Amino acid sequence: MSKTDEISQIEDDFATLAALAVGPTPESVRLMLAKLVRRYRITHPALAGRLGDALRTSQTRTAGHAVLRKASTSLMGNEDQLPVDADSRNSLIRIFDDLGGLDAPLLTPELQQGIDAIVRERKNRKRLESHGIPPTRSAILVGPPGVGKTLSARWIAFQLGKPLWVLDLTTVMSSLLGKTGSNLRAVFDHAKANEAILLLDEVDAIAKRRSDEADVGELKRLVTAILQEVDAWPATGLLLAATNHPELVDPALWRRFDHTFRFDTPVPELTEAAIRRFFRGSQEAFEEVIPLLSLALEGVSLSDVEKVVASLRRRALLENTDPVDLAMPLATEFAHKLDKKQRLVLALRLAKSLLPHETIRALTGVSRDTIRKYAGPSPVRAGRERRNEWQLDSS
Ligand SMILES: Nc1ncnc2c1ncn2[C@@H]1O[C@H](COP(=O)(O)OP(=O)(O)O)[C@@H](O)[C@H]1O
Ligand SMILES: [Mg+2]
The domain segmentation of the chain, as residue ranges, is: 1-64, 66-262, 268-375
182 lines ligand 1 (CB under 6 A): no
Q: How far apart are CA 305 and CA 61, in angstroms?
A: 20
Q: Please give the Cα distance from 82 to 167 (Å, whole number).
A: 12
Q: What is the pLDDT of residue 210?
A: 53
Residue ID of nearest Cα to ligand 1 atom 27 = 303
Q: Is the CB of 302 under 6 A from ligand 1?
A: yes
How far does the centroid of ligand 2 lie from the alpha carbon of residue 120, in Å? 23
Q: What is the pLDDT, as a whole number, of residue 173?
A: 67
CA of 241 to the centre of ligand 2 (A): 10
Q: What is the pLDDT at residue 393?
A: 44
Distance of CA 106 from the midpoint of ligand 1 (Å): 9
Query: Ligand 1 center to residue 18 CA distance, Å?
Result: 28
Sign of CA dihedral 125, 251, 107, 307: positive
pLDDT at res. 223: 78
Rounded distance between C-alpha atoms, residue 209 and residue 140, angstroms:
20
Q: Is the CB of 150 under 6 A from ligand 1?
A: yes
Give per-residue burial for 332-371: e unless 16+ CB within 10 Å, then b. bebbeebeeeebbebbbbbbebebbbbbbbbbbbbeeeeb
Which of 27, 96, 147 gets mutated to test ligand 1 (max ligand atoms within 8 A of its CB)? 147
To which CATH superfamily is domain 66-262 assigned? P-loop containing nucleotide triphosphate hydrolases (3.40.50.300)
User: Could you tell me which residues are beta bridge partners of residue 139?
Assistant: 240, 259
Q: Give the integer Cα–Cα distance in Å for 74 and 85.
A: 20
- 358 Cα: distance to centroid of ligand 2 (angstroms): 42
Q: Is 98 within 8 Å of 67 (Cβ atoms)?
A: yes
- Residue 306 Cβ < 6 Å to ligand 1: yes
Give the 3-state secondary structure of residue 301: coil
The pLDDT score that the predictor gives to residue 82 is: 60
Distance in angstroms (rounded) separating the CA atoms of residues 279 and 343: 27
Q: Which ligand is nearest to the CA of 149?
A: 1
Contact of 170 with 211, CB cutoff 8 Å = no
Q: Does the C-beta of 13 come closer than 6 Å to ligand 1?
A: no
CB 149 less than 6 A from any atom of ligand 1: yes
Ligand 2 centroid from CA 176, angstroms: 24
Tell which atom from ligand 1 comes closest to the C-alpha of 107.
1
- Give the model's pLDDT for residue 380: 66
- C-alpha 201 – ligand 2 centre gap (Å): 7
Ligand nearest to the CA of 148: 1
Q: Is 68 helix (H, G, I), strand (E, B) or coil?
A: strand
Alpha helices in 144-289 (DSSP H): 149-159, 169-174, 180-193, 204-208, 216-231, 251-255, 268-279, 283-286
Identify the pLDDT of residue 270: 93
- Res 384: pLDDT: 45
Asked if residues 167 and 198 have their Cβ atoms less than 8 Å apart, the reply is yes
Q: Which atom of ligand 1 is nearest to the CA of 144?
A: 22
Task: Print pLDDT tens along the chain (395 aa).
Answer: 788 888 888 998 898 888 888 876 676 787 788 778 778 877 888 888 888 778 776 654 443 332 333 333 333 434 345 666 555 445 678 888 887 788 999 999 999 999 999 999 999 999 999 999 989 999 999 999 999 999 999 999 999 998 899 987 776 766 555 566 677 788 888 888 888 899 998 888 776 555 555 556 767 777 788 888 899 999 889 999 999 988 888 888 889 999 999 999 999 899 999 999 998 877 777 887 888 888 888 889 999 999 999 988 888 888 887 877 888 887 787 777 788 888 888 888 888 877 788 888 888 889 999 999 988 888 765 444 444 444 444 44
Closest C-alpha to ligand 1, atom 26:
303
pLDDT at position 67, please?
Answer: 36
User: Which uninterrupted H or E stretch holds 11?
Assistant: helix 3-21
Task: Quote the pLDDT of residue 153.
Answer: 96
**CA 22 to ligand 1 centroid distance, Å:** 24
CB of residue 365 inside a 6 A radius of ligand 1: no
Given this model, what pLDDT does residue 335 score? 78
